[in-house]
Chains A and B, each alone.
Chain A
Amino acid sequence: MPKKDGTERESIAAHLQACGYSRRDFLSLCTMLMATAPVGLALTDKTTPEAVAKTVGKAKRPSVVWLHFQDCTGCSETLLRTSKPDVASLILDVISLDYHETLMVASGHQAEAALDQAVKENAGKFILVVEGSIPKKDGGVYMKLAGKNAIDVLKEVGSKAAAVVSMGSCASWGGVPSTPTAGGASPTEAVGVDKIITDKPVINIPGCPPNPYTLLGVVLEVAALGKVPALDAEKRPKFAFDRVIHDHCPRRAHFDAGRFAGSFGDEGHKQGWCLFKLGCKGPVTHASCSTRHFNEVPDCWPIGIGAPCVGCTEQTIAFKVPIFQTVDVHSFTATPPDGYPLVSGQSGSLSAIATGLVGLIAGAAGGAAWVAGKKLDEAESEAPKASAQSGGK
């Protein structure tokens, strides 16, 4: 890797070329990026891989500082669980990961120095990615980084960042460490990043872990276009979190037809039927797992392998609602589809021939009566003949 010498960063395209990546690999990456964010990301909206490659290629390699707090490192792992083409490397080469405790070689004082340098050199321009929740109890002493409280580290580093991305549920809203005990609060009062950094745009990417391409999309949008992608009320990028799993679930047809797995390993489960009865939280969980699977293996995601979704992105569900507790219907069915027969449905039919026939009969009867009446009138107005008349014609 070319040495950083504090001068102008080179563009991503140039860097990748220098690293020996083929244009084909880069286009593959851009295509993958487009698949991750089919809608909602300006970078990839209504465009071609070539156009994305051009935009991204021109962008300067963004500097990324990655901080770990109360985490399991799963969110970093998810970044690395990529295979062909060696996208992990691509990711690490597209962005400039200037500080990452797990991936960097340095440790100890060297690592400390690396962090200081990264922050100073790229002040105001780097993207801060945070993994793990931040404990607040007792002043935040339950997580220390190089002797400093996590909460202080975050505030310090965050103050210099251009944008902050919370990677994973823990950083987004507290995750596992924030699970309350019987007492009511979590043991360390763990919270998400946006409770600490309140003066800067924070982008939450919840998930346990989330999909790595969501992160890439956010980072590149910031780097290439200087914009934060459209976020929802919980600061989650809409392109990945605007829908619930249920709405894009491959097993949705089974739900709609009433085919449910009753227990693990039963006939329905073996057939791949809907896991709603097993407690699947898909109907109430916003995420993109149902369309972008993990580890780049098709169907490599919880529901795909027959395990009900646990709602890991949702603060109100993950690690709080029991995994096998079924979801309340009215919390996820907004308006039912119109395919149901309505209580006051139409039935019966009207044929043109029949209506015509009725008209004909009524008309004929009416007409005949009219004519008969007229004839009677005529007959009456004739002088009434004497009674000796024949029966006649």
Chain B
Amino acid sequence: MAMTRREALEKIAKGSLPVIAAGCVSTAMPAKAMAFEPEPGKFPEEAVGLLYDTTRCVGCKSCVAACSKANDLAPDTSRDGLHQAPGDLNWQTKNIIKLYKSADGKEYSYFKKQCMQCADPACVAACMFHGLTKNEKTGVVEWNGIKCVGCRYCEVSCPFGVPTFQWVGFNPKIVKCELCRHRTVKGQQPGCTSVCPNKAVIYGKRSDLLKEAKARIAAAPNKYFENKVYGETDAGGTQCLYLSHVDFQKLGLREYGEESIPDRLRYQKMLYKYLALPAALYIAMTAVISKNFKHVEHELKEEEKHSGLRPQL
């Protein structure tokens, strides 16, 4: 057991080196590769989004057709081989109209499903190499093929089940609504809002849309479910807002509270902050193991003497 103080210090120093290096790396680490850190409830100045009102939607599905056209996606006719009638979002369908119908058929509502453009998106936190990032100006969640590994963690983590993966072919992409940023940058409307006959879905700055939604609620109290705008604070707030005459849960918009999904990782993140805890653990373990190693080496020597065979580590 007689390790001199010098030896002990040497051991600790040697053990710490890789750890200090790791620490430097971790602090310089670009969770800053993304200049904009998403936070629940915080939206960029120019954050844009959609406002969808189920009381105005006629279920014509123009938006589905227009979206495919605007995004150069071939219509998905796989359900019946003839009509563009996908069963859900998929790699050819960035936007879909779904139907909720009660068992007796008396209560029903259409539901437009597309990326919610959350304030603190689960997919952005989940993506290993920043394949999905939140645009710091518009707040739109954008996919980058150069970084994406196709691990599909974004699909698993999204609370709304939005990102879709191109399952066929050898160059698969993650496909989801990006609010037609290739069109809005030219001043055009996104595909879906440009054709909606009833203005059931409209595009604009989130702050304006929220005002509009609240105005509609104020103008017709009791028309909208719980007089609530879904997405105001749900799941940390989303840029695509919903007004509905039926319970949001029936539309598939679960109750998520104000906590964003990545918030659930806060304890994990605390453990790894600056890699301090791992570093400390490593140093401690190295010290203990080094001490025990002396024992083991001693025992191995004994064995060698006893059996005449080379010691095995």
Direct contact of A and B (CB under 8 A): yes
User: Is A324 an interface position by the 8 A CB rule?
Assistant: no
In the assembled complex, the Cα of A257 lies from the Cα of B64 at a distance in Å of: 10
Q: Is the CB of B59 within 8 A of A341?
A: no
> Does B86 count as interface, using CB distance less than 8 angstroms?
yes
Q: Does B97 interact with chain A (Cβ within 8 Å)?
A: yes
A329 CB contact (under 8 Å) in B58, B63, B86, B111? B58
Cα(A342)–Cα(B100), bound, Å:
6
Q: Which of the listed residues A333, A335, A347 has the most CB atoms from chain B within 10 Å of its own CB?
A: A335
Question: Do the beta carbons of B88 and A335 come within 8 Å of each other?
Answer: no
- Cβ of A256 within 8 Å of any chain B Cβ, yes or no, is yes
Query: Within the complex, what minimum Cβ distance (angstroms) separates A251 from chain B?
Result: 13
Chain A contacts for B64, CB-based, 8 A: 258
Report the minimum CB–CB distance from B193 to chain A (whole Å): 13
Point out the residues of chain A lying under 8 angstroms from B251, CB to CB.
Answer: 343
- Report whether B252 and A340 are in contact in the complex, using a CB–CB cutoff of 8 Å: no
Contact between chains at B99 and A343 (CB < 8 Å):
yes
Q: A329-B57, A347-B87 are in contact. Are A336 and B62 (CB under 8 A)?
A: no
**Interface hits, B93-111 → A, CB 8 Å:** 96-101, 105, 108, 110-111
Residue interface bits B46-58, CB-to-A below 8 A is 1, else 0: 0000000001111
Q: How far is the CB of B159 from chain A (nearest CB, A)?
A: 15
Interface of A (DSSP majority class): loop
How many residues on chain A are close to B (CB under 8 Å)? 23
A258 CB contacts on chain B under 8 angstroms: 60-66, 195, 197
Tell me whether B98 and A340 are in contact (CB under 8 A).
Answer: yes
Determine if A255 is an interface residue (Cβ-Cβ < 8 Å): yes
Complex: A333 Cα to B111 Cα, angstroms: 15
In the bound complex, residues from chain A placing their C-beta under 8 Å from that of B60 are: 255-258
Whether, in the assembled complex, B78 has its beta carbon less than 8 Å from a beta carbon of chain A, the answer is no
Q: A258-B62, A343-B111, A343-B250 are in contact. Are A335 and B101 (CB under 8 A)?
A: yes
Are the C-beta atoms of B58 and A333 separated by less than 8 Å?
yes
Is A330 located at the chain interface by the 8 A CB criterion? yes
From B57, B63, B86, B101, contact of A342 by CB (8 A): B101
B252 touching A343, Cβ below 8 Å: yes
With contact pairs A326-B197, A326-B198 given, residues A333 and B59 touching in the complex (Cβ less than 8 Å): yes
Which residue of A has the minimal Cβ distance to B79? A341
Count contacts between A and B, CB distance < 8 Å.
71
Among A326, A330, A340: residue with most chain B CB under 10 A? A340
Roughly how many angstroms separate A255 CA and B65 CA in the complex, as a whole number?
13
- A341 engages B87 (CB within 8 Å): yes
B85 at the interface (CB under 8 A from A): yes
Are A342 and B198 closer than 8 Å at their CB atoms?
no
- B75-126 interface with A by 8 A CB criterion: 85-88, 96-101, 105, 108, 110-111
Q: Give residues 197-247 of A contacting B (CB, 8 Å).
A: none
CA gap between A329 and B62 in the complex, in Å: 15
Q: How far apart are B90's CB and chain A's nearest CB, in angstroms?
A: 10
- Whether A276 pairs with B197 at a CB distance below 8 angstroms is yes
Nearest Cβ distance between residue A70 and chain B, in whole angstroms? 37
- Quick check: is A293 within 8 A (CB to CB) of the other chain? no
Instruction: Find chain B residues with CB under 8 A from A259 CB.
Output: 62
Partner of A335, one of B66, B108, B195: B108
Query: Chain A contacts of B56 at CB under 8 A?
Result: 329
Q: Which chain B positions have C-beta within 8 A of A277?
A: 197
The verdict on A339 contacting chain B, using a C-beta distance below 8 Å, is yes
**Complex: A326 Cα to B198 Cα, angstroms:** 8
Tell me, rounded to whole Å, the shortest Cβ–Cβ distance linking B253 to chain A: 9
Complex interface: chain B residues within 8 A of A335 (CB): 101, 105, 108
Report how far A66 CA is from B98 CA in the complex, Å. 54
> Are the C-beta atoms of A329 and B198 separated by less than 8 Å?
yes
Q: Which residues of B contact A340 (CB under 8 A)?
A: 59, 97-99, 110
**CB–CB B88/A345 < 8 A:** yes
- With beta carbons under 8 angstroms apart, the residue of A276, A326, A336 that contacts B108 is A336
**B101 in contact with A336 (CB, 8 Å):** yes
Residue A344 lies at the interface, judged by CB distance under 8 Å to chain B: yes
Q: How far is the CA of A343 from the CA of B54 in the complex (A)?
A: 14
Contact mask A127-140 → B, CB, 8 Å, 1/0?
Answer: 00000000000000
Question: Which single residue of chain B is at the shortest CB-CB distance from A341?
Answer: B87
B198 touches A347 (CB 8 A): no
Rounded to whole angstroms, the CA-CA distance of A256 and B60 in the bound complex is 6
Contact string, B288-313, partner A, CB cutoff 8 A, digits 1/0?
Answer: 00000000000000000000000000
Shortest Cβ distance from B254 into chain A, in angstroms? 11
Note all chain B residues with C-beta closer than 8 A to A346. Answer: 87
Docked-complex contact B197 and A341, CB < 8 angstroms: no
Evaluate contact between A336 and B59: CB separation under 8 angstroms: yes
Q: Say yes or no: A342-B58 contact (C-beta < 8 A), given A326-B197, A347-B87.
A: no
Q: A260-B197, A343-B250, A345-B88 are in contact. List 11 more A-B contacts (CB 8 A).
A: A258-B60, A258-B64, A258-B197, A326-B197, A333-B59, A336-B108, A340-B59, A340-B98, A340-B110, A342-B99, A347-B87
Query: Which residues on B are within 8 Å of A, measured CB to CB?
Result: 55-66, 85-88, 96-101, 105, 108, 110-111, 195, 197-198, 250-252
10 A–B pairs (Cβ distance < 8 Å), ordered by A? A257-B60, A258-B62, A329-B198, A333-B58, A339-B85, A341-B85, A341-B96, A343-B99, A345-B98, A347-B88
Q: Which 5 A-B pairs have CB atoms at the shortest separation, nearest pair first?
A: A258-B62, A340-B99, A329-B58, A258-B60, A343-B100
